[in-house]
C-alpha cells in the first residue's frame, strides 16, 4: 500500500488520484494507492498538495521534490455576501491558518488588489474540511464579510447560497498546484512506484481535459453539498481548461513561486532550489 498524503480535501488536489482509482489505472500498473490526510500520516512519502510541500521544503522540515504538476492555477476563491462588497473591499476575511500556503496566497492577492489601508483583517480558521465549513459559516452568519474557499465547494453551489465570487486566485496568480511530490528521505524520485503513480495520474489529467464521464464522477464524489450539474460546471469551467501544464511552464512558474514564497516566509537561505527540477 502506497500512502498519498493530501493537505486539504479539495477537488483539485484529489481529482487525479480519484480518477486513477476509478479508471483502474493503478490496478493495471499493479499498485495500490490510498489518499490520507498528510497531517495524520507523516510517514506518507508522497504528497498531493504541492504548495504545502514547498512550505515544508523551504523551512527545511522535509526534503520534498515534485514529480508531477496538475495545474498552475490555484483553485481558491474569495467569496462575499453581496456584490456591492467588491468595490469597497471586505473588512473581515475568513481565511486559512497562519503560515499555510493558502494564507500566503491570500496575503499576496489582497496586497495586489487593495491599498494598504483597505486590506481587510484576516480571521484564521483551521485547515481541512472542518475549517472549510467554519469559514463558510462565518461568511453566511456575518461573522466575516468575505471568506477564502477552495474547490471542496462548487462555485455554482455557493452562488445558490447568495454568495458572490469576488476573486478567483487562479486568475490573480500562477503557482504549481496539486500533483505528486516525493519526500526524498523516504523514497526516491526514481522508484518504480513513483513512476507508476505519475503515469496513472498523467492519464487521469487527460480524462480531466476531455471531460470524460469518469472525471465527472470523480469531481462529484469529492464535492461538499453539490449536485452533479455543479460538478459538471466546475469540471468544464475550471479544471478541464487548466489541467496538464507544459513542463517548461512548470519550471518557469515554479522558479518565480519559489523566490516569492521564500521571501514571504522570511526564511533566508533554504535548500529547496531544486524543488521543481524533476518535472519533465
Q: How much is the pTM?
A: 0.92
Task: For residue 247, give its domain range.
Answer: 2-73+175-265
My answer on whether 102 and 59 are in the same domain is no
Whole-number average pLDDT of the chain: 92
How distant, in Å, are the alpha carbons of 73, 112, 276 from that of 262? 19, 18, 14
Mean local confidence (pLDDT), 140-146: 92
Model confidence at 86: pLDDT above 50: no
My answer on whether 65 and 139 are in the same domain is no
Residue 220 lies in a domain: yes
Residue 19 lies in a domain: yes
DSSP state of 67: E
Helix segments in the chain, DSSP class H: 11-22, 25-29, 50-58, 85-88, 101-113, 128-141, 155-160, 169-172, 192-209, 213-222, 228-234, 247-265
Q: What's the pLDDT tens digit per position in 248-267?
A: 999 999 999 999 999 988 87
My answer on whether 153 and 236 are in the same domain is no
Mean local confidence (pLDDT), 98-116: 86
Q: Which of the four pLDDT bands, split at 50, 70 and 90, describes residue 117? A: low
The answer to whether the beta carbons of residues 57 and 64 sit under 8 Å apart is yes
My answer on whether 110 and 52 are in the same domain is no
Residue 39 lies in a domain: yes
My answer on whether 87 and 158 are in the same domain is yes
Q: What's the pLDDT tens digit per position in 216-228?
A: 999 999 998 889 9
Residue 116 lies in a domain: yes
Task: Give 120-155 as a DSSP string.
Answer: PEEEE--SHHHHHHHHHHHHHHTS-SEEEEETTS-H
Q: What's the pLDDT tens digit per position in 5-40?
A: 999 999 999 999 999 999 999 999 999 999 999 989
My answer on whether 146 and 203 are in the same domain is no
Amino acid at each position: 500500500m502506497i500512502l498519498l498524503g493530501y493537505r486539504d480535501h479539495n477537488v483539485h488536489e484529489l481529482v487525479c488520484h480519484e480518477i486513477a482509482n476509478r479508471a483502474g489505472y493503478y490496478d493495471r500498473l499493479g499498485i495500490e494507492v490510498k489518499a490520507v490526510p498528510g497531517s495524520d500520516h507523516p510517514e506518507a512519502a508522497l504528497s498531493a498538495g504541492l504548495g504545502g510541500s514547498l512550505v515544508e521544503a523551504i523551512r527545511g522540515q522535509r526534503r520534498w521534490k515534485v514529480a508531477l504538476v496538475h495545474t498552475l492555477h490555484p483553485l481558491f476563491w474569495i467569496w462575499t455576501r453581496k456584490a456591492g462588497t467588491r468595490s469597497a473591499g471586505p473588512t473581515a476575511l475568513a481565511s486559512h491558518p497562519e503560515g499555510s500556503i493558502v494564507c500566503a496566497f491570500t496575503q499576496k492577492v489582497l496586497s495586489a488588489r487593495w491599498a494598504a489601508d483597505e486590506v481587510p483583517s484576516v480571521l484564521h480558521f483551521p485547515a481541512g474540511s472542518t475549517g472549510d465549513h467554519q469559514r463558510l459559516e462565518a461568511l453566511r452568519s456575518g461573522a466575516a464579510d468575505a471568506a477564502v474557499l477552495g474547490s471542496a465547494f462548487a462555485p455554482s453551489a455557493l452562488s445558490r447560497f447568495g454568495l458572490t465570487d469576488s476573486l478567483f486566485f487562479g486568475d490573480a496568480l500562477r503557482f504549481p498546484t496539486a500533483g505528486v511530490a516525493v519526500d526524498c528521505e523516504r523514497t526516491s524520485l526514481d522508484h518504480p512506484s513513483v513512476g507508476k503513480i505519475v503515469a496513472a495520474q498523467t492519464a487521469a489529467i487527460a480524462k480531466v481535459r476531455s471531460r470524460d464521464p469518469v472525471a465527472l464522477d470523480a469531481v462529484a464524489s469529492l464535492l461538499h453539498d453539490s449536485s452533479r450539474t455543479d460538478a459538471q460546471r466546475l469540471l468544464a469551467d475550471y479544471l478541464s481548461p487548466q489541467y496538464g501544464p507544459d513542463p517548461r511552464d512548470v519550471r518557469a512558474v515554479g522558479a518565480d513561486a519559489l523566490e516569492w514564497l521564500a521571501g514571504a516566509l522570511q526564511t533566508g537561505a533554504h535548500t529547496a532550489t531544486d524543488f521543481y527540477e524533476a518535472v519533465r
